[in-house]
């Protein structure tokens, strides 16, 4: 037997590793940010969606986007969206979390996880629901102005 080993990671494990420590009580956040489910949002601080890290997970949730807007039933208690903004126009991005919270199946959902770079998606959330994601190689993606603009967006959300 060789010294090589392979570690398989499921999409759920991958998300849980990044967002699992987001824990809040709806009573602790303002009313407009409250959902009938746990909302957990990760914002990759500098790593772009084209980074190989996201390669196998980039399209998670694309099938459910139409269900969010049409009100069609979900077949799961947990939903996960990775860079859903890639599949939405500006208006849809702005109303995405609103439509999730008012979806007919929203009371049946336990957790909704979103990995996004879209300020339109995170704009309607509170800091307790958002996790800024950083990795060791983020310095490779520190383009002029990027850090300052994300700091201002997170700051406005209360973080």
**Closest by CA position to 40, among listed 22, 59, 67:** 22
From the centroid of its chain, how far is CA 24? 16
pLDDT of res. 110: 94
The pTM assigned to this predicted structure is 0.79
Q: Which residue has the tokens 């969206």?
A: 81
Between CA 78 and CA 65, with CA 81 as vertex, the angle to 5 degrees is 95
For residue 159, pLDDT over 60 is answered with: no
Place 1 in a pLDDT band, splitting at 50, 70 and 90.
very low
Place 54 in a pLDDT band, splitting at 50, 70 and 90.
confident
Instruction: List pLDDT tens digits, range 69-120.
Output: 999 999 999 999 999 999 999 999 999 999 999 999 999 999 999 999 999 9
Higher-confidence position of 148 and 36:
36
pLDDT of res. 95: 95
pLDDT of res. 121: 94
pLDDT of res. 15: 82
Instruction: List pLDDT tens digits, range 122-151.
Output: 988 988 999 888 776 665 555 555 555 556
Query: Any idea where the domains of the chain sit in the sequence?
Result: 39-156
Return the structure tokens found at 130. Answer: 């958002």
pLDDT of res. 21: 83
């Amino acid at each position: 037997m060789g010294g090589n080993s392979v570690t398989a990671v499921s999409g759920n494990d991958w998300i849980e590793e990044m967002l699992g420590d987001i824990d809040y009580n709806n009573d602790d956040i303002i009313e407009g940010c409250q959902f009938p489910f746990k909302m957990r949002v990760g914002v990759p601080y500098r790593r772009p969606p084209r980074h190989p890290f996201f390669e196998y997970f980039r399209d998670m949730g694309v099938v459910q986007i139409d269900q969010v807007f049409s009100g069609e039933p979900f077949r799961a208690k947990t939903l996960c969206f990775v860079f859903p903004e890639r599949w939405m126009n500006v208006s849809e991005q702005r109303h995405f979390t609103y439509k999730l919270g008012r979806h007919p199946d929203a009371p049946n959902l336990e957790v909704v996880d979103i990995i996004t770079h879209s300020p339109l998606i995170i704009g309607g959330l509170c800091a307790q629901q958002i996790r800024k994601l950083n990795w060791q190689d983020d310095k490779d993606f520190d383009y002029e102005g990027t850090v300052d603009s994300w700091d201002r967006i997170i700051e406005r959300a209360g973080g």
